[in-house]
Amino acid sequence: MASRNPEKRSRMSTPLVRVADVTKHYPGVRALTGASLEIEAGEVRALLGRNGAGKSTLIKVLSGVERADAGTVEIGGAALGDGGVRRANELGVRTVHQELSLVPGMTAAENLFLGAWPRSAAGRVDHPAMRRAAREVFDRLGLGIAPDAQVGGLPLAEQQLVEICRAVRREPRLLILDEPTSALAAAEVETVLEAVRRIAASGVAVVYVSHRLDEIRRIARTATVMRNGEVVGTVDMATTSTEDAVAMMLGSAYEAAVRPRARTVDRDRTPLLSVSGLSVPPKVADVSFDLYPGEILGLAGLMGSGRTEVLRAIAGFEPAAAGTVRVDGREVPRVTAAGMKRRGVGLTPEDRKSEAIVPLLGVGENMVMSDFRAVSSGTSVVPAKVDRAARGLIERLSIATASARTPIAALSGGNQQKAVIGRWLHAGSRILLLDEPTRGVDVEAKEGIYRLVRELAGRGAAVLFVSGELEELPLVCDRVIALRGGTVAAEFTGDEVTVDAVLSAAMAA
């Protein structure tokens, strides 16, 4: 069971960070109520809670962006008071936000010193000194990033590390990392986590915000859980189960959350989708499976196992070197994106932000773009038809939005994901290929997506569900295939679908 004695530790040292009875109100909203926590130097403290739990407000108070209505914040024994961001900076508080704030056309070194470039005696930017200082920071964290590398050409994980290094260069005492890995693949995550471990080992206190519980277990010994603006407990992650952590985050809503129910899938029927001998060099080799009407089939595996490539090849976005694909028992002679869409196949890509949504367009426009003919008259799209089609989908999928014309970028990640799934319902898709559909969304939003996927399967859709978070597979899938090295390593059904079993199959030598 989770230990819920937040800050009762037998230690002689004085905490580096002390938050005591902090309260913060906005008009009509109590964002924080008596929030308290303590963090030692060199400790990585995870911060858990669904959207609206108060995490963002607490971070803003710690970093001086918002001033508490009541309570105190101390860093190293010195009060933050009403000094705002300047005072927080003086006390050594540095925050790395979820959205990167790098300049792609500049080098890694230039981004580290953005707005504070060292100057030579002649008043010019001292590039050699800047490169040397950048190299020192990169070496300190064990990174092989070249100071002269243009940031826009770096992998996303290295861009995130440059953002973190910019904060490290300014010698933090408290480093706040807000969802630093939400857009990263599993293999890239470990690089970031190792850098965070080195930062903490140097004596820096780290507040680590993430929705990925498996990741939090790897980086943080303790986690502070928030709900409805309150700190409900600080737990030892080694002795706290995922179920206990989720129950703390949801409170009374936990019992009302949809739990997986045993479902019967008729595998005597013709599969909606059959894949045989699929190969996509160099990632996928000889993958075969059947997917039946009403079934949710999980596709699991470590990063690089070929999960995404399998989905993209089936949907016609990546050419396969070998293999056959059948829909409703009929072989598809030439797999193309347009042809698979006509056959009722819809793919929600892994990278929602850059591949799945058009941020400045409305929710409705994003959902109907899979079939503009249904909302057009002649060659013109009819706004009234768009609104009518979108309203039906918004209601059916329980999407929280002010209107169908609200820019989709204004929605939460979970509601954006529902809208992307809605796009394929608008197109009449019966086979849904969902690549990391819950990435970057909070616990409550995940439950909503699980509920939606089960409902669609209950209506006869066939769902291929890819997730790097193995803990969610038993919650939503009827059957799971584990990939290893681009081939099918094992298959699990019903009660056989456990995190341990799937992980063992995916990692076995």
pLDDT per residue as tens, the chain (509 positions): 454 554 554 445 689 999 999 999 988 778 999 999 999 999 999 999 876 789 989 999 999 999 999 999 999 999 999 999 999 999 999 999 888 899 999 999 999 999 888 888 888 989 999 999 999 999 999 999 999 999 999 988 899 999 999 999 999 999 999 988 876 766 678 889 999 999 999 999 999 998 777 788 999 999 999 998 999 999 999 998 877 887 888 776 555 444 455 567 888 889 999 999 999 988 899 999 999 999 999 999 876 688 999 999 999 999 999 999 999 999 999 999 999 999 999 999 888 878 888 998 999 999 999 888 888 888 888 999 999 999 999 988 888 888 899 999 988 888 898 999 999 999 899 999 999 988 877 777 788 888 889 989 999 999 999 987 777 888 899 999 999 878 999 999 988 888 778 877 876 53
Q: Could you tell me what percentage of the chain is helix, strand and coil, using 3-state DSSP and rounding each to the nearest 5?
A: 35, 25, 40
- Residues 412-465: tens digit of each pLDDT: 888 898 999 999 999 899 999 999 988 877 777 788 888 889 989 999 999 999
User: What gap in Å lies between CA 234 and CA 212, rounded to an integer?
Assistant: 17
Q: How far is CA 495 from CA 99, 324, 452, 456, 480, in A?
A: 39, 30, 22, 22, 11
pLDDT score at 5: 53
Residues 6+ apart with CB under 8 A from 289: 274, 275, 297, 481, 488, 491
Identify the helix (H) or strand (E) that includes residue 39. strand 29-39
Q: Are 375 and 460 in contact (CB under 8 A)?
A: no
Show the tokens assigned to 230: 């309150």
* Residue count of the chain: 509
pLDDT score at 4: 53
Q: Are 239 and 1 in contact (CB under 8 A)?
A: yes
Q: Are 487 and 496 in contact (CB under 8 A)?
A: no
Q: Is 437 helix (H, G, I), strand (E, B) or coil?
A: coil
Q: Is 244 helix (H, G, I), strand (E, B) or coil?
A: helix
pLDDT score at 253: 53
User: What gap in Å lies between CA 104 and CA 94, rounded to an integer?
Assistant: 22
Q: Are 141 and 165 in contact (CB under 8 A)?
A: yes
Question: In 3D, which of 483, 493, 498, 435 has the Cα closest to residue 267?
Answer: 493
Q: How far is CA 334 from CA 84, 311, 324, 349, 442, in A?
A: 61, 16, 9, 21, 39
pLDDT score at 413: 83
Question: In 3D, which of 162, 28, 32, 177 has the Cα closest to residue 102?
Answer: 162
Q: How far is CA 177 from CA 12, 66, 193, in A?
A: 27, 17, 11
- Residues 223-247: tens digit of each pLDDT: 999 998 999 999 999 998 877 887 8
Residue 34 Rama label (left phi>0; alpha psi -120 to 50; beta)? left
Q: Is 245 helix (H, G, I), strand (E, B) or coil?
A: helix
Q: For the chain, list the domains and their CATH numbers.
A: 15-92+172-252 (3.40.50.300), 101-171 (no CATH), 273-507 (3.40.50.300)
